Amino acid sequence: MHCVRRILNTAQRNLRVCNNADTVYRSSGIQNVVRRSNHDSEEYVSTEDEKEQQTYVQIANRYLGVALDGHRTFVLQPYIKWGRDKKRNTSPELQMAEAVALIRTLPNWCVVGTKYAPLLTLQRKQLLGSGSLNDLKNELSKCHPTAVFVSTNLLKFVQITELEKIFGIPVYDRYSIVIHIFRAHAKTAEAKLQVALAELPYIRKKIFETCVTHSGAINVTEDTKLLLDGKEKRLKNELKKLQQHRRIIRSQRKKHGFPTVAVVGYTNAGKTCLIKALTDDSSLQPRDELFATLDTTTHQGILPNRLKILYIDTIGFIQDVPETLIEPFVVTLEDAIIADVVVHIYDVSHPDLKAQYQHVQKTIKPMLDDRPIIDVANKCDLVQSDCIPKDAIAVSAKTLIGIDLLRLKIQEVLLATTGLLSIRARVKSGSAAAAWLYKMTTVTNAQADPDDAQYLILEVLITSVEIQKFKNFLKQ
């Protein structure tokens, strides 16, 4: 009995030592993958000469406006009163709240007035009828704004031009405002590249709209066309390099065998805050603003069964913007699209929850095939329990309510979808076989064999491929 106890104590010491070695090895591996994943790709060096750059800046400023100095902004929220185009999963008031939040996200911008505009169509040249325009002009004269934000996804250039003539100040739509937010938040070369590519379709569309002749022909100068075509070609080539960079990173992750969990959701739903809670990574600093995250970043975590995994943070979604605005970011969203499990986090306390949830689901589901999605109702501490859907995991990323339950759910779904098997292996204590299992798999438990104290019974998480590799190793 004393001998068995001694061997068991030795086995436990071996487990601690091997666990430490396993932690060092696998942590080193996962840290290398994280560093590589979050390492910025090569800085984009424009081959435009200084004159071309200045010309493009002038064009961009004309069609996107200038945001750096800020604006006292009047927000106009148009909405369709009835008919096929009426939005039925939200309300003008909720749309207005998001429009105001967009403006307040921009540095030095503020909201000095708001107005709703019930319409039958968004296609009128001046957008509003003469009576509504006069009422709006009167309201503008009272609060003295320096810009008007028409919160609809994309205005025609003729509409912007007409409204600017009437109001005497710049007019912005949602596309241009979101681009300015992207510009303000883009810090890495990857993000700046994607933002530059996202703004080009807007600028090109506005230029072409201004150059349509009475006969319907598009009269754009050859220099302008060459400038835009050349810039677009260079940016797309850089985007291809970014795709290759991301593929290499993904292949390395696959080679190391680290499962991936992508966290997606509406902008400002709490994605970064949730990853911080799941990983205990104090370096993550979530910000309470729209589109705080533009880059796809990777963060290491560990599940209750000691399985090391990678959490992927992604750019947030938003309603009522053209697909061309988000399209360049699909390159980095691919990391989420091919993740083993997707966690869809939403702000369960948000008044516009229904529209936000449906928008994200509609966007991501076609990309995911049949891969599982875990719904996470964040900020559950701010609502009554009966407001939380029964099929969602209720959490508060800020106060850590429900985080342990979510880890268990992620663990359950990962084991079911990644081909990881839970097996028991009998190996000699201190043997090369034991070292291989600690190095190449996740050992969740170890006990001395009661029939032969020189052996250990290891409980291991392993893939079928690794099982075959282990068998081949034993034959050597």
Q: CA–CA separation, 410 vs 440, rounded Å?
A: 22
Provide the pairing of β-strand 308-313 with 341-347. unpaired
Reduced to 3 states, what is the DSSP secondary structure of residue 149?
strand
Residue 364 placed within a domain: yes
- State whether 368 and 311 are in the same domain: yes
Euclidean distance between the first and the last CA atom of the chain, given in angstroms as a whole number: 36
Nearest to 118 by CA among 79, 149, 90, 151: 79
Residue 147 placed within a domain: yes
**One-letter identity of residue 256:** H
- State whether 153 and 261 are in the same domain: no
Query: Alpha helix locations (H) across 347-463?
Result: 353-364, 403-417, 432-440
What per-residue confidence (pLDDT) applies to 422? 84
Q: What is the CATH number of the domain that holds 173?
A: 3.40.50.11060
- State whether 282 and 352 are in the same domain: yes
- State whether 197 and 176 are in the same domain: no
Residue 22 placed within a domain: no
Q: CA–CA separation, 407 vs 45, rounded Å?
A: 42
What per-residue confidence (pLDDT) applies to 291? 87
What per-residue confidence (pLDDT) applies to 190? 83
What per-residue confidence (pLDDT) applies to 41? 47
- State whether 288 and 158 are in the same domain: no
CA–CA distances in Å: residue 77 to residues 93, 97, 144, 189, 301: 9, 10, 18, 34, 43
Q: What is the CATH number of the domain that holds 332?
A: 3.40.50.300
Residue 59 placed within a domain: yes
Last residue of a domain, one of 380, 396, 417: 417
Rg (C-alpha) for the chain, rounded Å, is 28
Exposure string (b/e) for 275-305, b if CB count within 10 Å is 16 or more? bbbbbeeeebebeebbbbbbbbbbbbbbbeb
CB 147 within 8 A of CB 71: yes
- State whether 157 and 196 are in the same domain: no
**pLDDT tens for the 476 residues of the chain, in order:** 333 333 334 334 443 444 444 444 445 566 665 655 565 544 445 556 778 888 888 888 888 888 888 999 999 999 999 988 898 889 999 999 999 999 999 999 999 999 999 999 999 999 999 999 999 999 999 999 999 999 999 999 899 999 999 999 999 999 999 999 999 998 888 888 889 999 999 998 888 887 765 555 556 678 888 889 999 999 989 888 887 877 887 777 666 668 899 999 999 999 999 999 999 988 888 888 888 878 778 899 999 988 889 999 988 999 888 888 888 887 777 777 788 999 999 999 999 999 999 999 998 888 887 788 999 999 999 999 889 999 999 999 999 999 999 999 999 999 888 878 888 999 999 999 999 998 888 888 899 999 998 999 999 988 878 888 899 998 88
Reduced to 3 states, what is the DSSP secondary structure of residue 463?
strand
Residue 428 placed within a domain: yes
Residue 279 CB contacts under 8 Å (≥ 6 apart), including other chains: 299, 300, 301, 311
Residue 110 CB contacts under 8 Å (≥ 6 apart), including other chains: 70, 71, 72, 73, 103, 104
Cross-strand bridge partners of residue 94:
none
Residue 10 placed within a domain: no
Q: CA–CA separation, 273 vs 398, rounded Å?
A: 7
- State whether 155 and 129 are in the same domain: yes
Q: CA–CA separation, 309 vs 318, rounded Å?
A: 28
How far from the centroid of its chain's Cα atoms is residue 170's Cα? 31
Residue 224 dihedral angles phi and psi, to the nearest 5°: -65, -45
Q: What string of DSSP letters covers 392-414? A: SEE-BTTTTBTHHHHHHHHHHHH
- State whether 94 and 169 are in the same domain: yes
Residue 9 placed within a domain: no
- State whether 427 and 374 are in the same domain: no
Polymer length of the chain = 476
CB 26 within 8 A of CB 447: no
Residue 20 placed within a domain: no
CB 296 within 8 A of CB 314: yes
Q: CA–CA separation, 147 vs 160, rounded Å?
A: 12
What per-residue confidence (pLDDT) applies to 25? 46
What per-residue confidence (pLDDT) applies to 241? 86
**One-letter identity of residue 370:** D
Nearest to 248 by CA among 28, 18, 36, 460: 36
Q: What string of DSSP letters covers 266-277? A: BTTSSHHHHHHH
Provide the pairing of β-strand 452-463 with 442-449. antiparallel
Nearest to 342 by CA among 408, 422, 262: 262
Provide the pairing of β-strand 297-302 with 308-313. antiparallel
- State whether 261 and 409 are in the same domain: yes
Exposure string (b/e) for 359-386, b if CB count within 10 Å is 16 or more? bbeebbeeebeebebbbbbbbbeebeee
Q: CA–CA separation, 265 vs 392, rounded Å?
A: 14
Considering all CA atoms of the chain, what is the largest pairwise distance in Å, rounded to the nearest integer? 100
CA–CA distances in Å: residue 267 to residues 224, 270, 441: 35, 8, 36
- State whether 397 and 273 are in the same domain: yes
pLDDT, tens digit (0-9, with 9 covering 90-100), for 282-336: 888 888 888 887 877 889 999 998 888 999 998 899 988 888 888 888 777 777 7
Q: How many domains does the chain have?
A: 4
CB 98 within 8 A of CB 116: no
Q: What is the dihedral of CA 232, 238, 242, 243, to 10 degrees?
A: 60
Q: What string of DSSP letters covers 308-334? A: EEEEEE-PPB-SS--HHHHGGGHHHHH
- State whether 354 and 462 are in the same domain: no
Residue 447's domain spans which residues? Answer: 420-474
The kind and range of the H/E element at 207 are helix 189-210
pLDDT, tens digit (0-9, with 9 covering 90-100), for 393-402: 999 999 999 9
Q: What's the whole-model pTM score?
A: 0.81
